Amino acid sequence: MSSPKPGSIMASPLTRDVRAMAPAALGLGVAAVLMLLYVLSAGEAFAVVAGLVATAAVCTGAVLHQRARVLRQAELPIRIEGDALWVGERRIDRRRLRHGVVVPVEGGFVVQLRSTRLRQPLVLFFESEKEANDLLRELGLAADQTTATFLALSPWLARRGFAASLIAASLAALALGVAVVPLGWPPIIAMAGFALLGIPMAMAALPSWFSVGLDGIVVSGIGRRRFYPWSVVEKVTPFQIKSLVLNAGGVEIAIRGEEAPLRLPTSTDPLVGDTPERLAARIAEARAAATNK
């Protein structure tokens, strides 16, 4: 039995209070009421207005809901016993842990542990970087011990001009919906506008994954998979994406023999996401471990 490790659990997984859920509940409530009124009135003109307002309400509520995450902190002992990681009285099966990373935050360091059974990462806070790294190593999740797999945003979000095209498509759908009422066009035209808006939104929602191991980097997504050995990886740098519709970041990987670098957008939230700086550092750690092996 290992001795208890000092630390404090910050989320297991992330929890939300009633106030955090209010924006999303409000948006969905408005959308439901508008749809109900349309069903009762069966008015074609009202359907367009209801659809526009309902869409805006749901999107606004979803954005506010994501920004209203609440972390609850409590001092709990951490220990490792065989195949189990104990955080207080909570048992976590070590065999289900996929990977872990250490993220520097204000006042200390955070260990993020991702499990196949946890939707959100288990976040543990340590004042000492050594204690955080020691926990990862004892769990067998250090850069030279295992392959780490990260979820990235859609590669389309890293393309220049994509945010502008998304805004243009939104405005076009809105204008088409508004024009239906005075021109007397059939509502199907407005529905076509919403369908066109769904194309770039679907492109933005397509995720990708990349795995970092001792042999190189594997980038995979829907219908594609590519392996980059360390021998062709020349440079890895973090980058930021700031626009009217997106505030994210990621890592840019220069590949030998390819003109354009590989750009992998990801989250910038230091507690619930894998920050660009942390991902770049993890890639550097794995590359160094492979070189020294």
Same domain (yes/no): 63, 79: no
Which pLDDT belongs to residue 229? 92
Q: What backbone phi and psi angles, to 5 degrees, belong to 50?
A: -60, -40
- Tell me the two tokens of residue 143: 């850069």
- Tell me the two tokens of residue 110: 């955070």
Distances from the Cα of 152 to the Cα of 19, 40, 70, 142, 181, angstroms: 29, 43, 23, 21, 41
The answer to whether residue 196 is domain-embedded is no
Q: What are 21-52's pLDDT values in tens digits?
A: 455 555 555 655 655 555 555 555 555 566 65
Q: How far apart are CA 40 and CA 162, in angstroms?
A: 39
Q: What are 241-278's pLDDT values in tens digits?
A: 665 555 667 888 899 988 888 888 776 554 445 677 77
**Which of the pair, 139 or 222, is modelled with greater confidence?**
139
Instruction: Please count the residues of the chain.
Output: 293
Q: What backbone phi and psi angles, to 5 degrees, belong to 123?
A: -110, 120
Query: Shortest CA distance to 271 belongs to which of 126, 116, 75, 125?
Result: 125
The pLDDT confidence band at residue 210, using thresholds 50, 70 and 90, is confident
Which pLDDT belongs to residue 13? 36
Same domain (yes/no): 78, 130: yes
Query: Shortest CA distance to 253 belongs to which of 274, 223, 215, 284?
Result: 284
Domain edge (last residue) among 138, 162, 187: 138
Same domain (yes/no): 101, 119: yes
**CA 212 centroid distance within chain:** 17
Mean pLDDT of the chain: 69
The answer to whether residue 89 is domain-embedded is yes
The answer to whether residue 264 is domain-embedded is yes
- pLDDT above 90 covers a percentage of the chain that reads 2
The answer to whether residue 162 is domain-embedded is no
Q: Which of 55-59, 70-74, 207-211 has the lowest mean pLDDT?
A: 70-74
Contacts of 156 (CB under 8 A, 6+ apart): 162, 203, 204, 206
Distances from the Cα of 59 to the Cα of 62, 201, 241, 276, angstroms: 5, 12, 20, 26
- Tell me the two tokens of residue 139: 């769990």
198 has pLDDT over 80? no
The answer to whether residue 94 is domain-embedded is yes
Domain with 60 in it: 17-68
Q: What backbone phi and psi angles, to 5 degrees, belong to 27?
A: -60, -45
In the predicted model, what is the mean pLDDT of residues 208-212?
80
Same domain (yes/no): 63, 43: yes
The answer to whether residue 176 is domain-embedded is no
Q: What are 108-128's pLDDT values in tens digits?
A: 887 888 777 666 677 888 888
Report the CATH number that the domain containing residue 249 is assigned in CATH. Answer: 2.30.29
Domain edge (last residue) among 138, 165, 193: 138
Same domain (yes/no): 34, 102: no
**Which of the pair, 128 or 190, is modelled with greater confidence?**
128
Same domain (yes/no): 277, 253: yes
Same domain (yes/no): 217, 265: yes
Strand, coil or helix: what is 102? Answer: strand
Same domain (yes/no): 287, 220: yes
Query: Shortest CA distance to 212 belongs to which of 253, 247, 241?
Result: 253
pTM for the predicted model, two decimal places:
0.55
The answer to whether residue 159 is domain-embedded is no
Could you tell me which residues are beta bridge partners of residue 236? Answer: 253
Which pLDDT belongs to residue 223? 67
Which pLDDT belongs to residue 194? 61
Number of domain units in the chain: 3
The answer to whether residue 97 is domain-embedded is yes
